[in-house]
Structure 1
């Protein structure tokens, strides 16, 4: 198998990738917290690790790719008043927690399919693995690295740091953290401000709750990923991935609790994609510049001047190395839109083009150059997935393809073997590995007929006051990216979102 090197965040250097079990790769990537709509920040890690999944598979590995769904327990550390993000979202939207979870899980899946992301091998949910989390917490308690207070269980970070390397991934120093960690209300039940919750006691009004040896409660955020990765990949596996924002506290806490429960470092290679900025500013709710994926696709966000297709976004993300900061702007996305069109058009021409030698004289220099550009691409992928350089070489080859089609370059100027290499390189790297494909065009007339039928069914349901069916039609169409609108005159219209 090819010699792939990846940047290992825990070692802070590139290393040759050698899996624990030859021919097999276990990879875990932290999935979304489905308390709200997926946003632009979700696009980069899941496209990045989709490409890694594709490339490892292409290299011949049998990959088990596990990407979880956090549907309970994701909260910031706020003492006994910690608020579960799922429960909070459910209250705001007046939905049952699992209703909220299903709604946003469906929208997440819809967006991932539009990005042409492959489905993971296993997609476990936090609520489906409460037993595993409880068992893991028991092991940590038995080892003496956790303590129970008022029905909540906390990990003892200070004790762990006394015997292990806390900060091995993030580079944080515990003493500095103890001095700078802000005082939070109701922190008195923790031994130290930096301790994190493994299990939280549920107040009477908390809907999501499960029985445990410490009373009814819900899991902490960090324990979920440790328990699910361990169940499906073992106590140690090959790759743990996610965004750079997860290095601390999430991944650092995962490492600590998993080492105590399993006795070894949970993953050998830690890979992190860098952050996204929007017009040079960090993206976040505090900056009021978070763009949901639906807003991105339909152009309704205030930062956007137009809609951008999922494939334009995928192409734009892969034009930059995954460990570099990526700045979204209308100008950059519009340039990506044009670049994508060039590559797709060139690939379509190339794949339909037969090798017919015809007139012309063999051009040794051109033939060698085409082979060189193609031969460099595997090396770029093996150098920590440098998709930016892969794209650059494809752009170098684009004028050659266009000239072969127009006749400016005669087919006889390159050998049939070189032409086959060119054709295969584009198919394998552009389509199979980078996942760049043409946007699927719907047959508008058929779509109109089907939607008119569904709108008529919804109108009939409303007329007989069957609001459950009416809402179901509207909501399920919305999950597929089609928004219905009731007009004042009683008619109904739709728009693609």
Structure 2
């Protein structure tokens, strides 16, 4: 079946069809580099990383642009540029602050295994492009100048609100640019006049100033991807006004519709029910999270929820992701070890492998449903463990089919990118310890000390090692909770 995505533009599921066959032009709004990146950023960029990896697995060539905002993002509460605010806080020049946190962000993305975009443009390097688009919008009657400020006239774009569904009466509440000289309260700035002493400013036909935040992404997307693109992504909080304004600017400038065919938005990452953000002061930095958890644990935690869903940060969910990851790795280690001791004996290929792969693909075709895709991966791991524990002699070809497919599907989601099987000497030690515990259990059961025997079994189960007492003796398997 074809890929189907939920398009915020129209608020419905649609079949995914690209502008050019086999090629995806994709833009995702990047960070404002004012401080360290937090898990809210990880939530968005891991989700889109998994989407890109699946599209490539599916056969598409993806050209991906993610920007860096280093000017023009005004804080609503203070009316001040966030970069300038951060520079004052740290007693740095604005571009010193930008370099510090831009490279910190890049390091975080690398540490999380998020692939680098094809291009990562900085807003401040595209000021001339923004001035040109602004100038053309004025010529076409979509923008006007007021004392060095340039505003987009929303009344000239009748479709304004088609992304968010907002009505005009509500629109004025979302504007943070009060100016009685605007034609309409809903009009927004394309260019802002810089007052004397302002640290980030450039020359323009309208005097010294700086670009409005909303024109930045629209200009950079068109600069590197063309006047129409396939996917535009970002967090849900960007739907209004940022993405709504991008559509108005781009479509008014080019006369082509739609600017982006599919708008994909990630849900919030919350902590104690509140959106995780710098402004609320409730964020956990990626660097702090990585001190505590493996990058794959963070990725698995995030992908355990659908990209459009809200996720609440809590230690229990991260511990569960940690346990599930451990079980996948343990199964791969065991498959790899037994493979080295086995030969091909003519067993038929297990149907569970192809079935799991097909169901995994179907889940991802359904609006990139990573929770369902992970459920199929966990099911395959359980099947592999059942095969390992159900017989004493194994077919190397069957083991390899399980091993290769578990690794293949994991890597489609960006998991286990650097996985290597554990050294056999370490595995042998672990097996010896497990064998000793099983012999102790056997002796306890012989002496009818069932409480102690059951306690050992319970504690092993907490680590994902399931011991079953059968007529043939103790049977061991590794369990994945999905």
Work out whether the TM-score is over 0.5. yes
Q: Is this contact kept in 2: 1:51–1:435, CA < 8 A?
A: no
CA distance in 2, matches of 1:207, 1:108: 23
Q: Which residue of 2 aligns with 1:495?
A: none
CA offsets 1:9-54 (integer angstroms, 9 cap, x no match): 1021221211101121100000000011111110111111111221
Structure index of larger Rg: 2
Q: Is this contact kept in 1: 2:407–2:416, CA < 8 A?
A: no
Q: Which residue of 1 aligns with 2:286?
A: 293
Report whether the alignment pairs 1:155 with 2:152.
yes
Q: Which residue of 2 aligns with 1:378?
A: 361
SS at match of 2:150: strand
Among 176, 190, 194, the residue aligned to 2:170? 176
1:62 shift after superposition: 1.9
Q: Which residue of 1 aligns with 2:113?
A: 116
Q: Give the 3 Å change call, closer, same or farther, for CA 73–353 of structure 1 in structure 2.
A: farther
Among 424, 444, 447, the residue aligned to 2:404? 424
Report whether the alignment pairs 1:320 with 2:305.
yes
Q: Give the 3 Å change call, closer, same or farther, for CA 288–85 of structure 1 in structure 2.
A: closer
CA distance in 1, matches of 2:363, 2:333: 24
1:347 shift after superposition: 2.9
CA distance in 2, matches of 1:333, 1:377: 23
- Size of the aligned set, in residue pairs, is 419
CA distance in 2, matches of 1:401, 1:108: 38
Q: Which residue of 1 aligns with 2:296?
A: 311
CA offsets 1:187-231 (integer angstroms, 9 cap, x no match): 223222221111111111111111100011111101000100001
Q: Give the 3 Å change call, closer, same or farther, for CA 177–358 of structure 1 in structure 2.
A: closer
CA offsets 1:267-287 (integer angstroms, 9 cap, x no match): 101111111111333323464
Q: Which residue of 2 aligns with 1:23?
A: 22
Report whether the alignment pairs 1:85 with 2:76.
no
1:290 shift after superposition: 1.6
1:147 shift after superposition: 1.1
CA distance in 2, matches of 1:221, 1:103: 21
Q: Is this contact kept in 1: 2:39–2:284, CA < 8 A?
A: yes
CA distance in 2, matches of 1:322, 1:363: 38
User: Could you state the TM-score of these two structures normalised by the residue count of structure 1?
Assistant: 0.78
CA distance in 1, matches of 2:392, 2:217: 55
SS at match of 1:354: helix
Deviates more, 1:245-254 or 1:397-406: 397-406
Which structure 1 residue ranges, 5 or more long, are not aligned? 299-306, 442-497
CA distance in 1, matches of 2:273, 2:177: 34
Q: Which residue of 2 aligns with 1:258?
A: 250
Q: Which residue of 2 aligns with 1:207?
A: 199
User: Could you state the TM-score of these two structures normalised by the residue count of structure 2?
Assistant: 0.81
Among 268, 279, 294, the residue aligned to 1:275? 268
Provide the aligned C-alpha RMSD in A.
2.6
CA distance in 1, matches of 2:420, 2:237: 33
